[in-house]
């Protein structure tokens, strides 16, 4: 298509702001179409959160069936599904175009083979993110993509939208090592991430700027996060940092309906409770705290035994054993699970059925999520109802959004990353269609 590169007047056909997975995937669509694309990122190097995600093994996606996969996604109640059909269906449409199999094929094309772990999670062979990112960046540069690091977007120029002979342009202002720079582009794809892990580049500072410009946004909230709890010093001295497994976790809404129930493992931290099981339930816990002021969760300390089996075990004579020794002997309950029981059960009852009930449904009340910067991801951002199917702003044509800037969320396990890639692909292709439409209108 031959769109111009950044020229002496500081203009280009398309600009990508943010060089994480979503931004780079958007840039890839443009460069594949022969469009000269510039990518600007505030950090000294690109893909920092992507690399951080790969420290413990880069979880690219998940191998479960498509229907289950798409059911993992949700969105905030500030952007509920309605007549416009937005919400979870929007994320599902991205994944129809770029699902788990497509993600694996994409990695293979970069020379990186993948495998399915025992939990269904998909990892690159070697587990690391760096080889994949290096191969990807090499291919993008070979295709003509230009990366600008230490370019921090700070807003629009006072007259950020103007019309020229080649169509409407948006002018963005960046802080760079060479001072303030203005760049004008016909299309801009924003992929600046959410509001967690600010030191890696996702600081959420874009939200008030976009809101002031007229883009509908909701407040950023922690997702896949831990929660505060004031543990006793006795528990902390013995078990801070200890994995809590195996356990079950149940969350009920204000009407008493179960909204989450799963077996897994959590982690007792110095500040409260976290870990994969808590992260999976965090949306429900967070929303209950937001709406009710508190969330009551229940732990199943013996998830591999039924209530009847626990009751039967506890009916054996206790003799002179302490309660702790008796629970250890009869049920194998010890360590951090036993300590959690004593921490939360209060005055222990002597009735066998009540005691068994507590072991299977041990209540804990949570009042506050950990700070947003500690969260694995965030919810909130640009409302899905504020963009069209190509992820272009309804309020400001020519502006596109991708990744965690959009108001959706998902659990860990490859879901976050796959949807970030898929949204970048959708936004990139949307920008191509927009540029073609503008070009055709001028011919």
Tens-place pLDDT, residues 264-303: 999 999 999 999 999 999 999 999 999 999 999 999 999 9
Burial class for 303, CB neighbours closer than 10 Å (0-12, 13-18, 19+): middle
Tell me, which fold does domain 11-222+378-442 have in CATH?
FAD/NAD(P)-binding domain (3.50.50)
Q: Does residue 172 carry a pLDDT above 60? A: yes
pTM for this one?
0.88
Report phi then psi at 96, rounded to 5. Answer: -65, -35
User: 443 falls in which pLDDT band (50, 70, 90)?
Assistant: low
CB neighbours of residue 122 within 10 Å = 23
Would you state the torsion angle of the CA atoms of residues 240, 245, 247, 252, taken in this order, to the nearest 10 degrees? 50
Which pLDDT score, from 0 to 100, does residue 348 have? Answer: 67
Of the candidates 73, 18, 70, the residue with the CA atom closest to the CA atom of residue 47: 18
Q: What is the pLDDT of residue 4?
A: 38
Residues carrying CATH 3.50.50.60, the chain: 11-222+378-442
| Percent of the residues in the chain that have a pLDDT greater than 70, as a whole number | 91
What is each CA distance from 409 to 44, 75, 88, 225, in whole angstroms?
27, 6, 9, 12
- Euclidean distance between CA atoms 385 and 391, whole angstroms: 10
- On the question of pLDDT at 156 being above 60, the answer is yes
What SS3 string covers the chain?
CCCCCCCCCCEEEEEEECCCHHHHHHHHHHHHCCCCEEEEECCCCCCHHHHHHCCCCCCCEECCCHHHHHCCCECCHHHCCCCCCCCHHHHHHHHHHCCHHHHHHHHHHCCCCEEECCCCEEEECCCCCHHHHHHHHHHHHHCCCEEEECCEEEEEEEEEEEEECCEEEEEEEEEECCEEEEEEEEEEEECCCCCCCHHHCCCCCHHHHHHHHCCCEEEEEEECCCEECCCCHHHHHHHCCEEEEEEEEEEECCCCCEEEEEEEEEEECCCEEECHHHHHHHHHHHHHHHHHCCEEEEEECCCCCCHHHHHHHHCCCCCCCCHHHHHHHHHCCCHHHHHHHHHHHCCCCCCHHHHHHHHHCEEEEECCECCHHHCCEEEEEECHHHECCCCEECCCCCEEECHHHECCECCCCCHHHHHHHHHHHHHHHHHHHHHHHHHHHHC
Residue 77 has pLDDT above 80, yes or no: no
Angle at 380 between CA 379 and CA 381, to 5 degrees: 130
Q: Is 176 left (phi over 0), alpha (psi -120 to 50) or beta?
A: beta
Of 159 and 165, more confident: 159
- Token pair 């209060």 is found at 346
Of 94-103, 226-235, 345-354, the poorest mean pLDDT is in: 345-354
Written as six digits, the tokens of 122 are: 């998909």
Alpha-carbon distance of 381 to 23, in angstroms, equals 16
User: What's the confidence (pLDDT) of residue 24?
Assistant: 97
Say what the pLDDT of residue 282 is.
95
Question: Which residues have CB under 8 Å from 55's CB, separation 6+?
Answer: none
Q: Two tokens at 306?
A: 């039924």
Contacts of residue 134, defined as CB under 8 A and 6 or more positions apart, other chains included, come to none
324 upstream amide cis, omega within 30 of 0: no
Both structure tokens of 430: 């949307």
Residue 304, pLDDT score? 95
* Residues written for the chain: 443
Please tell me the distance from the alpha carbon of residue 397 to that of residue 394, in angstroms, as a whole number.
Answer: 6
Indicate the pLDDT class of residue 319, thresholds 50, 70 and 90: confident
Q: Output the pLDDT for position 161.
A: 54
| Average confidence score pLDDT of the chain | 89
Task: Give Cβ neighbours of residue 56 (< 8 Å, ≥ 6 apart).
Answer: none
pLDDT at 76: 59
Partners of 50 in beta bridges: none
Task: Give percent of the chain above pLDDT 90.
Answer: 73
Q: In this predicted structure, what is the pLDDT of residue 201?
A: 85
């Amino acid at each position: 298509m031959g769109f111009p590169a950044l020229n002496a007047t500081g203009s280009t056909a398309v600009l990508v702001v943010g060089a994480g997975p979503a931004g780079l995937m958007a840039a890839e669509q443009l460069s594949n179409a022969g469009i000269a694309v510039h990518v600007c990122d505030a950090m000294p190097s690109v893909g920092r959160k992507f690399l951080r995600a790969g420290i413990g093994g880069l979880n690219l996606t998940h191998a479960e069936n498509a229907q289950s996969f798409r059911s993992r996604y949700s969105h905030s109640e500030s952007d509920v599904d309605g007549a416009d059909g937005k919400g979870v269906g929007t994320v599902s449409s991205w994944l129809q175009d770029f699902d788990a199999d497509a993600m694996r094929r994409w990695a293979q094309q970069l020379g990186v083979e993948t495998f399915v772990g025992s939990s269904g999670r998909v990892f690159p062979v070697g587990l690391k993110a760096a080889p994949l990112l290096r191969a990807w960046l090499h291919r993008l540069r070979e295709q003509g993509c230009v990366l600008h690091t230490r370019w921090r977007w700070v807003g629009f120029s006072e007259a950020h939208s103007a019309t020229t002979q080649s169509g409407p342009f948006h002018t963005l202002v960046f802080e760079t090592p060479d001072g303030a720079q203005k760049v004008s582009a016909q299309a801009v794809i924003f992929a600046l991430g959410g509001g967690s892990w600010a030191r890696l580049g996702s600081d959420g500072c874009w939200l008030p700027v976009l809101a002031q410009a007229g883009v509908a946004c909701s407040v950023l909230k922690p997702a896949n996060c831990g929660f505060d709890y004031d543990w006793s010093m006795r528990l902390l001295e013995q078990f801070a940092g200890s994995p809590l497994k195996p356990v079950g976790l149940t969350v009920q809404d204000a009407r008493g309906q179960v909204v989450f129930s799963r077996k897994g493992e959590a982690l007792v931290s110095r500040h409260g409770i976290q870990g994969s099981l808590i992260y999976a339930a965090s949306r429900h816990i967070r929303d209950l705290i937001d709406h009710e002021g508190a969330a009551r969760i229940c732990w199943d300390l013996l998830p591999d035994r039924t209530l009847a089996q626990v009751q039967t075990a506890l009916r054996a004579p206790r003799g002179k054993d302490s309660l702790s020794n008796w629970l250890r002997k009869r049920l194998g309950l010890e360590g951090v699970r036993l300590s959690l029981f004593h921490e939360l059960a209060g005055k222990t009852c002597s009735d066998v059925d009540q005691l068994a009930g507590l072991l299977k449904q041990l209540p804990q009340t949570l009042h506050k999520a950990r700070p947003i910067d500690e969260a694995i991801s965030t919810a909130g951002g640009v409302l899905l109802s504020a963009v069209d199917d190509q992820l272009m702003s309804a309020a400001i044509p020519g502006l596109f959004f991708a990744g965690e800037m959009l108001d959706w969320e998902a659990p860990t396990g490859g879901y976050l990353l796959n949807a970030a890639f898929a949204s970048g692909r959708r936004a990139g292709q949307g920008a191509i269609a927009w540029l073609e439409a503008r070009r055709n209108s001028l011919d």
